Amino acid sequence: MTNEWNARLLDTQRFTESLGHAKFHHGLHSLTRVQEACAEQQVTAAETVCDWSLSGETRGSGPRQQSWMLLEAALTLPQRCQRCLEPMTVDISVNRWFRFVEDEATALAEDDECEEDLLVTSVELNTIELLEDELLLAMPLIVSHGNCQPPASAALVDDLPHPFAALAGLKLPKT
């Protein structure tokens, strides 16, 4: 899909003031940090794609006018269940608003008091990096089917003697 907006060099002020909207479709190969999180699954770029969009708007008027951008994304990632060790898929979605501020100092000053995420206005915002950040934050820390059993090989470990059990026989008797 062709957009007039460049996802790697987005002019945020122009995007929000013009009520910009852009849709993108990227293979996992262009989201390298997310791909690394799935590296164990040996995923090819053709298998996994991310559909995402940006929408810009301004709120308020005059000196109180603020620029906002909505990032929406959906992606199904292959993962490995940490309980049964079988492959599974995890649906990841992002729906996050960002408010733009003039500079880093303003962002730091306002960050503790506001609920929204703040970004510094830029003529070269790499929204693909922003997308990757948000996808990584949305990924679950522990991936599990929720109703599966550990593999049978894990049960065998419980049947093995304790590695220090033999040391009990080496104890000197108390006198």
Residue pLDDT, tens place only, 64-77:
889 999 999 999 88
Domain annotation covers residue 163 = no
Domain annotation covers residue 73 = yes
Domain annotation covers residue 164 = no
What is d(CA 51, CA 37) in angstroms, rounded to the nearest whole number?
A: 18
What is d(CA 53, CA 79) in angstroms, rounded to the nearest whole number?
A: 24
Domain annotation covers residue 56 = yes
Number of structural domains (the chain) is 1
Q: How much is the average pLDDT of 6-13? A: 92
Domain annotation covers residue 44 = yes
Tokens 């603020």 sit on residue? 66
Cβ–Cβ < 8 Å for 142, 80:
no
Is 60 exceeded by the pLDDT of residue 42? Answer: no
Is 80 exceeded by the pLDDT of residue 171? Answer: no
Domain annotation covers residue 126 = yes
Is 50 exceeded by the pLDDT of residue 1? Answer: no
Cβ–Cβ < 8 Å for 54, 67:
no
Q: Residue 106: give the domain boundaries.
A: 12-150
Domain annotation covers residue 46 = yes
Helix (H) or strand (E) holding 72: strand 66-80
Helix (H) or strand (E) holding 98: strand 87-101
